[in-house]
């Protein structure tokens, strides 16, 4: 009965999230004896993430939730910025007013949020920065090295294509984002001086359908056909698989993220849609572990790098 109740509790939370996502911001209160945030709980942890419509960021939310459920003395105040800098800045103001004991933030724009986060630091509120470095006196920075992600993809591409090399299609998310720039740089350095040639570059905006439609409608991407695709996330890699399949082509495709769930990376690997994926863990689990250590007076690492791995099945 206890397990059943817990499942219903999670279902209710999930439905509330779906309803409120359209508003661009919501507060999730960790259920612990039906307490509200700050009402009877020992600690309040405030969190702001850029955009929960992104599958990887939604996985970060789930990782945070799963780890937070292990601690009965905290409540989580959760905010979705819907990719708005102004909304995220307002979230920080609200968390200060709510007297959050710790603030965990993945910035929409690191430069735009830097001054606001330094104000938080001056109020003696510990700050945990996620993934995108902010120029402030943070307590801990938890991140994945995107250059290493690109480099690992390039090294695996060399293994897949061998000495004969081949043509490569690179599908970028946002070509001006830090993540895309670093993944591109790492990949280019890995294949430099080899017979692998990056002949095509497509901007897929991190979305499957954008990559799919552009590959179908812009004939030059398959004329001649690439031998390998490096997609900056699995979702765009799946879009490339779909487009290639409609043209009767079978391509080697390397993606990034390795997310569990329907129509995501791990399922695509199992179904043979992707050849490989670079595991890109969110750090959500580590964020809550770090927060609890801070609250309990335990020293934490200033910079925590999340390791990556190549997943092939």
Residues 6+ apart with CB under 8 A from 249: 222, 225
With 0-12 / 13-18 / 19 or more C-beta atoms within 10 angstroms meaning exposed / middle / buried, residue 34 is: exposed
Give residue 41's pLDDT: 72
Cβ-contact 268, 177 below 8 angstroms: no
- The DSSP annotation for 98-119 comes to TT-SEEEE--SSHHHHHHHHHH
Q: Does domain 146-279 have CATH number 2.40.50.140?
A: no
Name the fold adopted by 2-143+282-305. Answer: Rossmann fold (3.40.50)
Give the start-to-end residue ranges of the domains of the chain.
2-143+282-305, 146-279
SS3 content of the chain, % helix, strand, coil (to 5): 45, 20, 35
Return phi, psi of residue 27, to 5°: -115, 125
Tell me, what's the pLDDT at 40?
A: 55
Q: What is the pTM of this model?
A: 0.86
Which residues of the chain fall short of a pLDDT of 50?
A: 1-2, 4-39
Same fold, 2-143+282-305 and 146-279: yes
pLDDT of residue 6: 46
């Amino acid at each position: 009965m206890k397990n059943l109740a817990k499942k219903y509790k999670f279902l209710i939370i999930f439905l509330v999230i779906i309803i409120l996502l359209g508003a661009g911001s919501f507060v999730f209160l960790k259920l612990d004896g039906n307490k509200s945030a700050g009402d009877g709980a020992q600690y309040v942890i405030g969190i702001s993430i850029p955009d929960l419509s992104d599958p990887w960021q939604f996985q970060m939310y789930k990782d945070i939730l799963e780890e937070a459920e292990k601690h009965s003395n905290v409540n989580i105040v959760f905010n979705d910025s819907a990719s708005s800098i102004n909304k995220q800045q307002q979230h920080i103001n609200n968390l200060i007013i709510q007297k959050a004991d710790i603030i965990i933030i993945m910035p929409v724009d690191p430069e735009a949020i830097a001054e606001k986060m330094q104000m938080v630091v001056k109020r003696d509120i510990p700050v945990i920065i996620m993934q995108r470095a902010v120029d402030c006196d943070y307590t801990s920075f938890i991140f994945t090295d995107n250059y290493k992600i690109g480099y690992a993809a390039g090294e695996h591409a060399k293994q897949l294509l061998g000495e004969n090399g081949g043509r490569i299609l690179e599908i970028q998310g946002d070509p001006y984002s830090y993540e895309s720039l670093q993944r591109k740089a790492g990949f280019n350095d890995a294949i430099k001086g080899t017979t692998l040639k990056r002949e095509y570059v497509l901007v897929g905006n991190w979305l499957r359908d954008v990559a799919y439609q552009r590959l179908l409608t812009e004939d030059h991407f398959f004329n001649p056909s690439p031998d390998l695709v490096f997609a900056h996330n699995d979702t765009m890699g799946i879009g490339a698989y779909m487009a290639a399949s409609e043209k009767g082509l079978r391509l080697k495709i390397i993606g990034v993220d390795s997310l569990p769930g329907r129509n995501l990376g791990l399922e695509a690997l199992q179904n043979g849609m992707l050849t490989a994926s670079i595991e890109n863990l969110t750090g959500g689990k580590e964020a809550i572990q770090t927060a609890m250590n801070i609250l309990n007076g335990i020293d934490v690492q200033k910079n925590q790098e999340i390791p990556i791995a190549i997943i092939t099945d």
